[in-house]
Amino acid sequence: MKIQFADNLRLEVCEVINSMLPTSLETRMAVAFVKYSGLRIIEPALDKCLENGGSVEFIIGLDFRTTDSQSLRAISAKTKQSPLCRLYCYSDPSDNVDTYHPKVYLFDKGHTVKSMVGSSNLTRGGLKDNVEINVILSFDKQDENLETLLDIYARIKYQPTCFVPDSEYIDAYDETIKQAATSTIKIESNKDVRKALEFLRKKEQTLPKPYTAPNTLQGWQKLVYSKLPLTEFNTSFLHQYISEFQRAYPDNQNIEAKIRQVLQQLRDLGLITHVKEGRWIKGQ
């Protein structure tokens, strides 16, 4: 496996993204923060990817101290222009929501998937100016390490705090930024900011959530899902296919554990429901 590092000294992160993005079939970015100063650096490559028929998905953390509304509006506008562009947001960690802090970039190149994981957010500093450290890896489509990374990404995407923002939400988020910026006291003590946050939380509950269609599954998830019956079933039902699973993934020496793991992943994606211990059914 070829390993590279992008630190903005010997190799700039924006150079990596701008070289991979235009020809990527499917791009996924999960970052804690985004600023328009960073988005505009990759915007030409992003537009080229969409023009070429590639899809681009963002999962962006909301923190009105860092993520700006201009970048959200710019990406949201692209989602309206092209169904191949998708924007999801992860709730701001100012109250009881767990802090969202990943920096994961995935580029599907057909036979391989390139990944960049490290410290760089989608900001000018993260892409160009700061001293960062990011590892760049290339995976074969059947590599179980890739499936692990995609599972981590999916668990982020299908958290209940992940949603599709609309223009009203982005406007309210912008107003919260302004209130927080002008506040002379701690946010926790500012009634106006707390009220604005409460509105955002309520609004999030009404906004669409990410959804995975069964025909978009890949790898282990696709293989296991294809064997599921329409009726309620036991985990042990899938043991009859162990030899077939072993042929597909000869390096895996613990197929039964993998089956249990994949069933949990399919549950998290909303494609199957856990009825009780060891029993499942398709759908929710």
If one compares 147 and 1, the residue with the highest pLDDT of the two is 147
CB count within 10 Å of CB 211 equals: 12
Q: What is the pLDDT of residue 84?
A: 97
Confidence grade of residue 128 (pLDDT, cut at 50, 70, 90): very high
% of residues, the chain, pLDDT over 90 = 66
| Largest separation between any pair of C-alpha atoms in the chain | 65
Q: What is the pLDDT of residue 196?
A: 85
Assigned architecture for domain 214-282: Orthogonal Bundle (1.10)
Helix axes 167-182, 69-81, angle to 10 degrees: 170
Confidence grade of residue 147 (pLDDT, cut at 50, 70, 90): confident
- Spatial separation of the C-alpha atoms in residues 185 and 212, rounded to whole Å: 42
Tens digits of residue pLDDT in 44-65: 999 999 999 999 999 999 976 7
Confidence grade of residue 160 (pLDDT, cut at 50, 70, 90): confident
Confidence grade of residue 246 (pLDDT, cut at 50, 70, 90): very high
Q: What is the pLDDT of residue 185?
A: 65
Residue in the structure block whose two tokens are 């696709």? 222
Is 150 a residue whose pLDDT tops 70?
A: yes
Mean pLDDT of the chain: 91
If one compares 1 and 210, the residue with the highest pLDDT of the two is 210
Assigned architecture for domain 3-206: 2-Layer Sandwich (3.30)
Average pLDDT estimate for 26-33: 97
CA distance readout (Å), 232 to 183, 221, 226, 227, 239:
55, 18, 15, 13, 15
Tens digits of residue pLDDT in 67-123: 999 999 999 999 999 999 999 999 875 555 578 899 999 999 999 999 999 999 999
Domain residue extents for the chain: 3-206, 214-282
Q: What is the pLDDT of residue 89?
A: 96
- Spatial separation of the C-alpha atoms in residues 108 and 27, rounded to whole Å: 6
| Cβ 179 vs Cβ 193: under 8 Å | yes
Give the SS3 label for residue 4. Answer: strand
